[in-house]
Protein backbone atom coordinates (compact mmCIF):
# COMPACT_ATOMS: atom_id res chain seq x y z
CA UNK A 1 0.00 0.00 0.00
CA UNK A 2 1.03 3.62 -0.54
CA UNK A 3 0.44 6.16 2.22
CA UNK A 4 0.88 9.87 2.82
CA UNK A 5 2.39 10.72 6.21
CA UNK A 6 2.09 14.09 7.90
CA UNK A 7 4.76 14.03 10.59
CA UNK A 8 5.63 16.54 13.31
CA UNK A 9 9.27 17.64 12.89
CA UNK A 10 11.03 19.67 15.56
CA UNK A 11 14.82 19.98 15.78
CA UNK A 12 14.93 20.58 19.54
CA UNK A 13 12.91 21.78 22.49
CA UNK A 14 13.97 25.35 21.68
CA UNK A 15 12.90 25.24 18.02
CA UNK A 16 9.44 25.74 16.61
CA UNK A 17 8.11 22.58 15.05
CA UNK A 18 5.88 21.99 12.05
CA UNK A 19 4.17 19.20 10.12
CA UNK A 20 6.05 17.84 7.12
CA UNK A 21 4.73 15.45 4.50
CA UNK A 22 6.38 12.21 3.37
CA UNK A 23 5.38 9.32 1.15
CA UNK A 24 5.42 5.77 2.44
CA UNK A 25 5.36 3.51 -0.62
CA UNK A 26 5.10 -0.26 -1.01
CA UNK A 27 4.20 -0.79 2.63
CA UNK A 28 3.22 -4.32 3.59
CA UNK A 29 0.03 -4.75 5.58
CA UNK A 30 1.96 -7.16 7.80
CA UNK A 31 4.34 -4.46 9.04
CA UNK A 32 3.91 -2.85 12.42
CA UNK A 33 3.55 0.93 12.50
CA UNK A 34 7.12 1.33 13.74
CA UNK A 35 8.44 -0.96 11.01
CA UNK A 36 6.69 1.27 8.51
CA UNK A 37 8.49 4.28 10.00
CA UNK A 38 11.76 2.35 9.80
CA UNK A 39 11.21 1.90 6.06
CA UNK A 40 10.41 5.59 5.62
CA UNK A 41 13.55 6.52 7.55
CA UNK A 42 15.72 4.28 5.39
CA UNK A 43 14.47 6.21 2.37
CA UNK A 44 15.11 9.56 4.06
CA UNK A 45 18.65 8.57 5.05
CA UNK A 46 19.36 7.43 1.49
CA UNK A 47 18.37 10.92 0.33
CA UNK A 48 20.53 12.62 2.96
CA UNK A 49 17.53 13.79 4.98
CA UNK A 50 17.51 13.65 8.77
CA UNK A 51 15.37 10.63 9.74
CA UNK A 52 12.22 10.93 11.81
CA UNK A 53 13.11 10.54 15.47
CA UNK A 54 10.72 8.47 17.58
CA UNK A 55 10.93 6.48 20.81
CA UNK A 56 10.91 2.69 20.92
CA UNK A 57 12.41 -0.13 22.94
CA UNK A 58 10.90 -3.60 23.36
CA UNK A 59 8.42 -3.41 20.46
CA UNK A 60 6.37 -6.01 22.32
CA UNK A 61 3.70 -3.77 23.84
CA UNK A 62 5.31 -3.94 27.28
CA UNK A 63 7.45 -0.84 27.87
CA UNK A 64 5.24 2.00 26.57
CA UNK A 65 8.10 3.85 24.87
CA UNK A 66 6.34 3.99 21.48
CA UNK A 67 4.42 7.12 22.35
CA UNK A 68 2.80 8.57 19.23
CA UNK A 69 -0.48 10.31 18.54
CA UNK A 70 -1.84 8.82 15.32
CA UNK A 71 -4.72 10.62 13.62
CA UNK A 72 -5.45 12.40 16.88
CA UNK A 73 -5.52 9.27 19.04
CA UNK A 74 -2.68 8.30 21.41
CA UNK A 75 -1.31 4.91 20.27
CA UNK A 76 -3.62 4.93 17.25
CA UNK A 77 -7.11 3.67 16.41
CA UNK A 78 -6.99 0.16 17.93
CA UNK A 79 -8.07 -0.22 21.56
CA UNK A 80 -5.72 -1.79 24.10
CA UNK A 81 -2.83 -1.57 21.63
CA UNK A 82 0.52 0.21 21.76
CA UNK A 83 1.94 1.78 18.60
CA UNK A 84 4.53 -0.98 18.22
CA UNK A 85 1.74 -3.56 18.13
CA UNK A 86 -0.43 -1.55 15.72
CA UNK A 87 -0.20 -3.15 12.28
CA UNK A 88 -0.61 -1.54 8.89
CA UNK A 89 -3.50 -3.83 7.98
CA UNK A 90 -5.66 -1.41 9.97
CA UNK A 91 -5.01 1.26 7.32
CA UNK A 92 -5.99 1.39 3.66
CA UNK A 93 -4.06 2.12 0.50
CA UNK A 94 -4.03 5.86 -0.14
CA UNK A 95 -4.67 6.83 3.50
CA UNK A 96 -3.28 10.03 4.94
CA UNK A 97 -1.87 9.54 8.44
CA UNK A 98 -1.08 12.33 10.89
CA UNK A 99 1.67 11.53 13.41
CA UNK A 100 2.42 13.76 16.39
CA UNK A 101 4.17 13.51 19.78
CA UNK A 102 2.43 13.54 23.16
CA UNK A 103 1.09 17.08 23.73
CA UNK A 104 1.53 18.16 27.35
CA UNK A 105 3.45 20.82 29.23
CA UNK A 106 4.90 18.13 31.48
CA UNK A 107 6.13 16.17 28.42
CA UNK A 108 8.31 18.69 26.52
CA UNK A 109 9.38 17.68 23.02
CA UNK A 110 13.05 16.69 22.75
CA UNK A 111 13.11 16.14 18.99
CA UNK A 112 10.43 15.30 16.43
CA UNK A 113 8.20 12.66 18.05
CA UNK A 114 10.36 12.13 21.14
CA UNK A 115 9.19 13.71 24.41
CA UNK A 116 10.76 13.95 27.85
CA UNK A 117 8.57 11.88 30.17
CA UNK A 118 10.91 12.01 33.15
CA UNK A 119 8.12 13.79 35.05
CA UNK A 120 6.57 10.34 35.51
CA UNK A 121 9.87 9.12 36.97
CA UNK A 122 9.87 11.95 39.49
CA UNK A 123 6.29 11.14 40.52
CA UNK A 124 7.34 7.54 41.13
CA UNK A 125 10.44 8.64 43.03
CA UNK A 126 8.21 10.72 45.30
CA UNK A 127 6.49 7.64 46.70
CA UNK A 128 5.60 4.93 44.20
CA UNK A 129 7.44 2.20 46.06
CA UNK A 130 7.65 0.25 49.32
CA UNK A 131 10.67 1.25 51.38
CA UNK A 132 9.92 -0.46 54.69
CA UNK A 133 11.99 -3.50 55.60
CA UNK A 134 9.87 -6.50 54.67
CA UNK A 135 12.64 -9.05 55.14
CA UNK A 136 13.62 -11.65 52.61
CA UNK A 137 11.46 -12.65 49.68
CA UNK A 138 8.53 -14.60 51.16
CA UNK A 139 6.76 -17.52 49.57
CA UNK A 140 3.87 -16.50 47.35
CA UNK A 141 1.30 -17.71 49.87
CA UNK A 142 3.11 -16.54 53.03
CA UNK A 143 1.07 -13.33 53.33
CA UNK A 144 -2.67 -14.04 52.99
CA UNK A 145 -4.24 -11.55 50.56
CA UNK A 146 -7.91 -11.76 49.57
CA UNK A 147 -8.31 -12.75 45.94
CA UNK A 148 -10.33 -9.66 45.01
CA UNK A 149 -7.59 -7.42 46.47
CA UNK A 150 -4.86 -9.37 44.67
CA UNK A 151 -6.76 -9.25 41.39
CA UNK A 152 -7.38 -5.51 41.74
CA UNK A 153 -3.71 -4.86 42.56
CA UNK A 154 -2.62 -6.80 39.48
CA UNK A 155 -5.05 -4.89 37.27
CA UNK A 156 -3.60 -1.56 38.40
CA UNK A 157 -0.02 -2.85 38.29
CA UNK A 158 -0.49 -3.46 34.55
CA UNK A 159 0.08 0.27 33.93
CA UNK A 160 3.23 0.69 31.81
CA UNK A 161 3.55 4.44 32.35
CA UNK A 162 3.42 5.32 28.66
CA UNK A 163 1.59 8.64 29.15
CA UNK A 164 -1.24 8.04 26.68
CA UNK A 165 -3.69 9.07 29.39
CA UNK A 166 -1.97 12.46 29.63
CA UNK A 167 -1.91 12.90 25.85
CA UNK A 168 -5.63 12.13 25.57
CA UNK A 169 -6.79 14.41 28.38
CA UNK A 170 -7.76 17.99 27.52
CA UNK A 171 -6.15 19.03 30.83
CA UNK A 172 -3.07 16.81 30.39
CA UNK A 173 -4.00 15.09 33.63
CA UNK A 174 -1.82 12.28 34.97
CA UNK A 175 -4.40 11.05 37.45
CA UNK A 176 -4.96 7.69 35.74
CA UNK A 177 -1.22 6.95 35.91
CA UNK A 178 -0.80 8.15 39.49
CA UNK A 179 -4.07 6.52 40.50
CA UNK A 180 -2.94 3.18 39.12
CA UNK A 181 0.35 3.34 41.03
CA UNK A 182 -1.35 4.38 44.27
CA UNK A 183 -4.18 1.85 43.94
CA UNK A 184 -1.77 -0.98 43.15
CA UNK A 185 0.08 -0.65 46.47
CA UNK A 186 -3.01 0.40 48.42
CA UNK A 187 -4.50 -3.04 47.74
CA UNK A 188 -1.53 -4.90 49.23
CA UNK A 189 -0.54 -5.27 52.89
CA UNK A 190 3.07 -4.34 52.04
CA UNK A 191 1.82 -0.96 50.86
CA UNK A 192 -0.25 -0.09 53.90
CA UNK A 193 2.59 1.11 56.15
CA UNK A 194 3.41 4.10 53.90
CA UNK A 195 -0.02 4.54 52.32
CA UNK A 196 -0.75 8.03 53.68
CA UNK A 197 2.75 9.35 53.07
CA UNK A 198 2.80 7.85 49.57
CA UNK A 199 -0.42 9.33 48.21
CA UNK A 200 0.29 12.82 49.55
CA UNK A 201 3.82 12.83 48.13
CA UNK A 202 2.83 11.49 44.71
CA UNK A 203 -0.11 13.87 44.31
CA UNK A 204 2.07 16.81 45.36
CA UNK A 205 4.73 15.86 42.82
CA UNK A 206 2.10 15.36 40.11
CA UNK A 207 0.86 18.91 40.72
CA UNK A 208 4.41 20.28 40.82
CA UNK A 209 5.15 18.77 37.40
CA UNK A 210 2.32 20.78 35.84
CA UNK A 211 -0.20 18.05 35.09
CA UNK A 212 -3.81 19.16 35.00
CA UNK A 213 -6.87 17.96 36.88
CA UNK A 214 -9.33 15.23 35.98
CA UNK A 215 -12.72 16.24 34.57
CA UNK A 216 -14.11 12.68 34.30
CA UNK A 217 -14.43 12.51 30.52
CA UNK A 218 -12.78 9.05 30.54
CA UNK A 219 -10.54 9.75 27.54
CA UNK A 220 -7.67 8.31 29.56
CA UNK A 221 -9.35 4.96 30.05
CA UNK A 222 -10.37 4.85 26.37
CA UNK A 223 -6.79 5.12 25.07
CA UNK A 224 -4.93 3.19 27.78
CA UNK A 225 -3.17 0.25 26.09
CA UNK A 226 -3.55 -1.78 29.29
CA UNK A 227 -7.18 -0.71 29.83
CA UNK A 228 -6.58 0.71 33.30
CA UNK A 229 -9.94 1.64 34.80
CA UNK A 230 -10.78 5.13 36.05
CA UNK A 231 -11.67 3.35 39.28
CA UNK A 232 -7.99 3.86 40.10
CA UNK A 233 -8.61 7.63 40.22
CA UNK A 234 -11.49 7.14 42.63
CA UNK A 235 -9.29 4.94 44.82
CA UNK A 236 -6.50 7.52 44.79
CA UNK A 237 -8.94 10.28 45.78
CA UNK A 238 -10.23 8.18 48.68
CA UNK A 239 -6.68 7.46 49.83
CA UNK A 240 -5.77 11.14 49.53
CA UNK A 241 -8.75 12.44 51.50
CA UNK A 242 -8.17 9.81 54.18
CA UNK A 243 -4.51 10.86 54.43
CA UNK A 244 -5.45 14.55 54.79
CA UNK A 245 -7.80 13.78 57.67
CA UNK A 246 -5.27 11.72 59.61
Give CA separation, 243 vs 187, 194, 239, in Å.
Answer: 15, 10, 6
What phi, psi does 20 have (nearest 5°)? -125, 150
Note the pLDDT of residue 163. Answer: 98
With residue 202 as reference, give the H or E element that holds it.
helix 195-208
Q: How far apart are CA 148 and CA 120, in angstroms?
A: 28
Q: How far apart are CA 22 and CA 136, in angstroms?
A: 55
With residue 35 as reference, give the H or E element that holds it.
helix 33-46
Q: How far apart are CA 215 and CA 230, in angstroms?
A: 11
Note the pLDDT of residue 95. Answer: 98
- Residue 17 and residue 9 in contact, taking contact as beta carbons nearer than 8 Å: yes
Q: Where are the beta strands (DSSP E) in the chain?
A: 3-9, 18-24, 69-70, 73-74, 96-100, 109-111, 114-115
Instruction: Name the nearest CA neighbour of 200 among 132, 120, 127, 129.
Output: 127
Q: Quick one: average pLDDT of 45-69?
A: 97
Domains of the chain: 3-110 (3.10.20.30), 118-245 (1.10.1060.10)
Note the pLDDT of residue 134. Answer: 64
Note the pLDDT of residue 246. Answer: 81
pTM of the model: 0.94
Amino acid sequence: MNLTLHVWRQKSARDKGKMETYQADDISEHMSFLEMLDVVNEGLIAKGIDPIHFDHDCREGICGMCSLVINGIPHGPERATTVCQLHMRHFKDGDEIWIEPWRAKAFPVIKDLVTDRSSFDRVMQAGGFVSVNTGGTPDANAIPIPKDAADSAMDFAACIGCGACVAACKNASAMLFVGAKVAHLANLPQGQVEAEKRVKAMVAQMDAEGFGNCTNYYECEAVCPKEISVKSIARMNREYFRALKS
